[in-house]
Amino acid sequence: MTGYILKRLVSAIPVIIGLSVIVFGIMALIPGDTATALLGSYATPDNVARINRELGLDRPVYEQYFVWVGNLLQGDFGRSYILNRPVLDEILERFGATLILAGTALVLCSILGILAGVVSAVRQFGWTDRIVTFFVLIGISTPAFWLGLLFILIFAVQWRVLPASGMYAVYGGGDLPDLLRHLILPATTLAIVATGVIARLTRAAMLEVLRQDYVRTARAKGLDERRVIYRHAFKSALVSIIPVIGIQAGFVMGGAVYIETVFQWPGIGQMLVSAISTRDLLLVQGGVLLVAVTYVLINLVADVAQAMLDPRLKT
């Protein structure tokens, strides 16, 4: 197992290098003078000269890449001229908020999705199945940002039971219960679509597995139906559900962009949207890279979990 984990870790390196090339490309592809584009309205001759020196913009593109990577490895992600602070400070501060939101949503959607999917498969064509299928369809057809607005209207404006925005109350907040109160609406909204996707795939995976010859063997051995479903069928289904959860992690982190905007959640998604509007490209670059690397690592964990379940994958 350790060998497999090491192998997967090593194989993630080229992916992360590839990511860095693409993210670097964002800067290189910008039309016109890079320094001017990066600085926007702060493009005084002094600033232009300084950024050219810092990022090596006067050198060939491939050298610029190495300068950039070298800086990254030293923890220097550049400086946001609009916020007037180092990019790394800004993204790290916001990353925690995004992790809390996306992490909660991912846990929620995995648990609910798998539960709904299994129940729906086991009671195929029954009422439970129909209700689950119906809600799944609604879930995957609803624009999450719109659903967020509806939730705000209902829970914050009409009933006034939950806060409409932010991570903590402005006055007297800051403790865990306060965070949880603020987390409920955005995390639920974010989880709803992913729950639909996971429930749907879990149902399909369970139905597929329940048709397999080895499930018939389990029945021929005289196992009761609970063991057949939860020990024999579910374990196999889980092998194909885990990578889906890995992919959903990406959807959840991406979807956080909308949800953070709607709920004014001080995370990386909200930062990215405003950074794109203000053309604060170094901030965009740093934010995208951090989230993408996190996503790669999550998928690595998913791969390892999958291999722990299925010995055939450990090659």
| Ordered alpha helix ranges (H), the chain | 2-29, 34-39, 45-55, 61-73, 87-122, 127-141, 144-151, 176-210, 213-220, 225-227, 234-263, 268-277, 281-309
Residue numbers 177-206 binding other proteins by CB under 8 A = 204, 206
Q: At what angle do helices 176-210 and 234-263 cross, to 10 degrees?
A: 140
Report, in Å, the least distance between residue 105 CB and other proteins. 13
DSSP string, 170-205: TTT--SHHHHHHHHHHHHHHHHHHHHHHHHHHHHHH
Written as one letter, the residue type at 2 is T
Nearer Cβ to other proteins, position 157 or 180? 157
Q: Verify binding: residue 36, other proteins, rule CB under 8 A.
A: no
Residue numbers 288-307 binding other proteins by CB under 8 A = 288, 291-292, 295-296, 299
- Tell me which residue of 288, 278, 271 sits closest to 24, measured CA to CA: 288
Q: Verify binding: residue 207, other proteins, rule CB under 8 A.
A: yes
Spatial CB neighbours of 172, under 8 Å, sequence gap ≥ 6: none
Report, in Å, the least distance between residue 189 CB and other proteins. 13
Written as one letter, the residue type at 175 is D
CA dihedral 257, 306, 188, 256 (to 10 degrees): 0
**Which one of the spans 44-52, 70-78, 109-117, 272-280 is the region binding other proteins (CB under 8 A)?**
272-280
Q: Verify binding: residue 228, other proteins, rule CB under 8 A.
A: yes
Q: Verify binding: residue 145, other proteins, rule CB under 8 A.
A: yes
Nearer Cβ to other proteins, position 181 or 279? 279
Nearer Cβ to other proteins, position 70 or 254? 254
Among 24, 77, 151, 251, binds other proteins (CB under 8 A): 251
The C-alpha angle 218, 224, 230, rounded to 5 degrees, equals 75
Q: Verify binding: residue 255, other proteins, rule CB under 8 A.
A: yes
Among 47, 71, 128, 142, binds other proteins (CB under 8 A): 142
The C-alpha angle 12, 16, 18, rounded to 5 degrees, equals 115
Report, in Å, the least distance between residue 175 CB and other proteins. 28
Report, in Å, the least distance between residue 94 CB and other proteins. 14
Nearer Cβ to other proteins, position 187 or 288? 288
Q: Verify binding: residue 261, other proteins, rule CB under 8 A.
A: yes
